[in-house]
Structure 1
Amino acid sequence: MIGVGLLGFGTVGGGVYQILKSKKDYIKRKLGEDIVIKKILVTDINKKRKYCVDKFLLTDKFEDIVNDSSIHVVVELIGGEEPSFSYIKAAIKNKKHIVTANKLIMAKHGEEIFRLAEENGVKIYYEGSVGGGIPIIKTLNESLVANKIEKIYGILNGTTNYILTQMTEKKMDFKEALKEAQDLGYAESDPYFDVSGLDSAYKISILSSLSYETFIDVDSLYVEGVEKIELEDIEIADELGYVIKLLAIGKRLEDESLDIRVHPTFVPKNNPISRINGVYNVVQIHGDNVGEIMMYGQGAGEMPTASAVVADIIEVAKNIKYNISNGLINNLQDHRLISIEEVENPFYIRLMVNDKPGVFAKIAKVLGDNNVSIASVIQKHRLTPVVPIFLRTHPVKEKYMNQAADELKNIDDVIEIKNIIRVEEL
């Protein structure tokens, strides 16, 4: 019998309880062991809940779980940084194996957690922290172990993907699409964590740490959200053969340095990632032997995430028998994370300029003086004194693009640089 202690009984915790209860016999046939929830940590024992649960299982004292010798696995589903991080460390020190869906904890404190787990002879599983029900962690850990991972591209946040999908398909502006996402429960009342790109940054940090056998400092990543995307950007992207997605990118470069970032991106329509819409997530991986593979599915929600958590609980139970190590700590590689200034991409630029002769020549000169080569230009004729110009550049280092942008602001007839978006030719 494998004893489990749940920390948290919210949306995902309730889903985990329901799966373990309804699939009890099936899991025992697969595993050869019973998995039994021994205790559930909650803040209010008397609160009315979606799933009926015997009150003797509920406790509001963490000590009832961490000090219970019949509990082998602690499942952290509280979320946030504290008290989750402290609870995980205390459980590890008490020789409990850990399952968590907490992306923030794994991205910010993964190295400390893995080292502590190794010292105490326990295991850490975190499939639910990235991609909800998509089994991407297990795939990287096991199915792709014969591969050197070269690139990871992902849409890792369902909220922003839903917003951009509505802007693309229904011509909503950003605020309208965000409100609809909130009304449907896809976005929080405070959507900052999602729309700023931070949620995706935590997830690509986890995937890159695993893929490149190192620990990525999430605070050192370049992260840009979708707040500045406007309908005009969406429409020009479509005209040029692209779709705008909030893309999480992790690349191993030829010199073994790493390029890891999150930002809105022009994705070519002929790449399957461009067709992943709504609240769905996708991860596209390039391995040196397998080539390109892609996995997609629901990236959040009660049952998709609960499914991943239960799979981890079962995996812990299996691996306890065979004493299989997580393996990451003993095989760390030394990789340099390159600055965003050194990254080379084509760019899309949207400018508002005075509609008069000679303005474009001034713009072209500034770009050329800063090593920025123009690939294409679109100017929409409007009966107004100020008009938009849309430029697409050839690949250029970010630092040169930034220098050019600073100089463009000094041209009197350039009223505003409305947006600069990177183009990724996947």
Structure 2
Amino acid sequence: MKQILVLNSGSSSIKYELFDMDAAGALESGLVERIGEGESRLKQTLPASTPKSPSQSRSIEVSVPDHRQGMDLIRRALSENASFAGGQYLVGIGHRAVHGGETFSGPTLIDDHLIRTMEELVPLAPLHHPANLIGMEVARSAFPEVPQVAVFDTAYHQTLPPHAYRYAVPQTWYQRYGMRRYGFHGTSHAYVAKQVARHLGRPLAELNTIVFHLGNGASATAIRGGVSVDTSMGLTPLEGLVMGTRCGDLDPAILIHMGKESGMSVDQMDGVLNMQSGLKGLCGANDMREVLSMESNGDQAAALAVEMFVYRIKKYLGAYHAVLGRLDAVAFTAGIGEHSPQIRARSCSDLETLGIAIDPVLNTAVEPPICEIQTSDSRVKVLVVSTDEEFEIAEQTLACVQS
């Protein structure tokens, strides 16, 4: 048996999942949250023992003053799982890392050089990198004999051609400050593209797909033959689609104008665009389920927010169709993409001239982990795919360790 442990370290949390790579299934998952906040908690889930039995979950209130204590708690939780067997089958630990800059284009073994390089990249991901680095530090200390791998959200998009990743700004901005499109949600887009090809029974290298990862954060990627050729997020996750609290595409002159007119500082505007914009800025709510409910009750602001959300999706769908030339499949994934028939239907409405048509019955009867929802005469396949970023990290970690 070969086991991979996947860790996602946040500023006040550590999410983990243990995989049996031979069986391609999860053995345990959990979350240590509110680290350093006095009311910490461990949430632990064991998968169902049979298809019809429920999963087993528990939640424990416990004091976790720092990430090192959080990792110790995870080790103790894993030790109670007979399948873990004291870690004797653990062949690697995969860490989610947000920003790899131009340095990291694939999964990379963690060593002191990688840590130093990630520290240099902190300005590109100031909220995420420090937490990622803490997780790596404590995991290396807790499991010193186990190879550990960093899997970067941006790595999948390092295949973008220069005409797609460069901005039309002075070249020195790119050379000196790294101002370019990096893209995010890469592990999700990579996983979904592979699942679409497997489901359709076609080689990934022959398939052109547009993937919409629609959650509180949202992004679109044009994938030609399994390779990302354009993506909606840019230097940061702020660009692109309308999101829960992020504005998406924006005229940069708005920031200059607001700075002059309102006196807001750069940090204040950054906070507004990332945390107070998007759906929340338009109608006061960032959960799409709540926004749709508000719309159904006649809230005009919510109706506008939904219309803007799906309109932006349509714009990217049309643009990426043109980029790819030939389009074989459109895939919806993540919280909204997987669970909102209304958003899927409205995003694909009136697109028959592009060969895209959704069957309303199939669209409301989605069965995970993957299913098709297009009409019988739709030239383009339309699929709903349950994403699994943790398993994608596990697969990339195993491949890196074995190579």
TM-score range, shorter chain: 0.3 to 0.5
Larger Rg: 1
TM-score after normalising by structure 2 = 0.35
